[in-house]
Amino acid sequence: MQPKIKIAGLDFYYNGRPVLENICMEAFENTITAVTGPSGQGKSSLLIAVNRLWESIEGARVKGDIQIRFGQTFQNIYDPGFRVPELRKKVGMVFQMPNPLPMSIYKNIVFPLKLTGGHKKKDAAFRVETALKRSFLWEEVKDRLNEDARSLSGGQQQRLCIARALILNPEVLLLDEPTASLDDTSGRMIESLLLEVKKSCTLLLVSHYLDQVKRIADKGMRLSRGQITQAW
């Protein structure tokens, strides 16, 4: 099993206040690494450091080293020559609250292809179907692709957001409390989905639910007071 993500000496500051201090950890390829801990301790900050989303947040600042292995080569994602759009093609993210765009189910899923210039009509439909199948949603929406995505249930919307992230075939998927807003049945479906996705992707998951983490994670980390320790 090979490392996929290596984080060393990571500090995260918000308005001059330290949120994360000297974070060092690894996530291995085709595994689920879960980060737990109390609210407000920097778990979401860790994720947005890995995809550089913090760069659009006023007052946020990061120091340290984050390397991700793409193919056979590790890339420092903060190298000046490594562009954010290239990172976002390879590192997807799913948030706590489902965030379908105000458009059809089909257009929601295909949207990342348009953003990255990978939208070709002849294969877009196939890629949308593949992403929806990977997200366990195809059978429920295959006859509704032109309907507003916001008409879906909460659990379906979250699976749609996962499908939207998967259409670019990312190598890493970041998940920030992906079941927190869902009922138990929908949450368990998402868990089963993540176990399937890890066969072709490396997952870094933030979760408050220790029972969930123990069910699906290969490695558990605990983040508290800006410090991270391995739980198992």
Tokens of 123: 């294969």
Where exactly are the structural domains of the chain? 3-230
217, 161 contact by CB (below 8 A):
no
Calpha distance 192→27 (Å, rounded)? 20
Q: Which fold has domain 3-230?
A: Rossmann fold (3.40.50)
Calpha distance 76→135 (Å, rounded)? 30
So what's the pLDDT on residue 232? 81
- DSSP conformation letters of the chain: --EEEEEEEEEEEETTEEEEEEEEEEEETT-EEEEE--TTSSHHHHHHHHTTGGGGSTTEEEEEEEEEEETTEEEETT-TTS-HHHHHHHEEEE-SS----SSBHHHHHHHHHHHTT---HHHHHHHHHHHHHHTT-HHHHTT-TTSBGGGS-HHHHHHHHHHHHHTT--SEEEEESTTTTS-HHHHHHHHHHHHHHTTTSEEEEE-S-HHHHHHH-SEEEEEETTEEEE--
Q: What does pTM read for this prediction?
A: 0.95
Calpha distance 180→187 (Å, rounded)? 8
101, 164 contact by CB (below 8 A):
no
So what's the pLDDT on residue 118? 59
Q: Residue 159 phi/psi, 5° resolution? A: -65, -35
- Give me the tens of pLDDT residue by residue for the chain, a chain 232 residues long: 899 999 999 999 999 999 999 999 999 999 999 999 988 889 999 999 999 999 999 999 999 999 999 988 999 999 999 999 999 999 999 999 999 999 999 999 999 998 877 566 778 999 999 999 999 999 999 999 999 999 999 999 999 999 999 999 999 999 999 999 999 999 999 999 999 999 999 999 999 889 999 999 999 999 988 889 987 8
Q: Residue 200 phi/psi, 5° resolution? A: -130, 10
So what's the pLDDT on residue 119? 61
Tokens of 95: 């948030």
Tokens of 137: 């949603």
Calpha distance 193→189 (Å, rounded)? 6
